[in-house]
Amino acid sequence: MGRSRIGVPDRSRRALLAGRARATPLLRPPWARDEAGFTAACTACNACAEACPPAVLVRGGGGFPEFDPARGECTFCGDCAAACGEGAFVAPTGRPWALRAWIGDACLAGAGVVCWSCRDACGESAIRFPPALPVARPQVAADRCTGCGGCVGACPTSAITIAGASAEVPVVA
Ligand code: SF4
Ligand code: SF4
Ligand code: SF4
């Protein structure tokens, strides 16, 4: 199924919100214009990805750049936006995107295994482990999470997905 910029299909969205499934979100670089504006302006020159210090931008479908949090953490340096001469980005001043981390069922806590790798990787202290028995489970504080992706690669079971806080983020279904 192709990409949809309208949003997450109901079934996928419900599952995602419940942390039970990992929809594959289509993630543009920070400060990218809305999907229609971005793809209209972008010439797929790849300059933004080449300018990205942590190399977390990759060529996606159609050659358009995508953020791949499995490659590392976006530092919000703004170098990608600065490298674009085609107007595909808004001014990198406000909130870079409406993304956050979601923790799915592959989290080791569900199997009774203690693991704090995601918490330790989060520079925003956005992942907390409220005391619980037999094993505390991680919870993402949405008001602190920047969607930087730093926790994604730290998770030994790939349980963490970066996606929108609402249905506004396009997905690959
Ligand atoms: S803001 Fe910086 S670290 Fe983040 S994707 Fe752009 S160039 Fe890379
Ligand atoms: S620098 Fe601009 S035009 Fe080039 S790939 Fe990135 S967003 Fe597209
Ligand atoms: S996406 Fe970034 S800010 Fe959010 S929980 Fe993961 S490491 Fe922390």
Residue owning tokens 């080791």: 108
Query: Which atom of ligand 3 approaches the CA of 162 most closely?
Result: 1
Dig out the tokens for 26 from the structure: 């289509």
pLDDT at position 16 is 44
pLDDT (0 to 100) of residue 168: 42
Strands 127-128 and 171-172: unpaired
**pLDDT at position 11:** 37
* 18 burial type by CB count under 10 A (0-12 exposed, 13-18 middle, 19+ buried): exposed
Q: Is 151 in the pocket of ligand 1 (CB under 6 A)?
A: no
Alpha-carbon Rg for the chain, nearest whole angstrom, is: 16
| Residue in 35, 46, 84, 89 to alter for ligand 2 test, most ligand atoms within 8 A of Cβ | 84
* Ligand number, closest to the Cα atom of 140: 3
Query: Is the Cβ atom of 29 under 6 angstroms away from ligand 1?
Result: yes
Average pLDDT, 10 consecutive residues per value, the chain (173 residues): 33 42 75 97 98 98 97 98 98 93 96 97 97 94 96 97 68 36
The whole-number pLDDT of residue 23 equals 54
* Side chain identity, residue 78: G
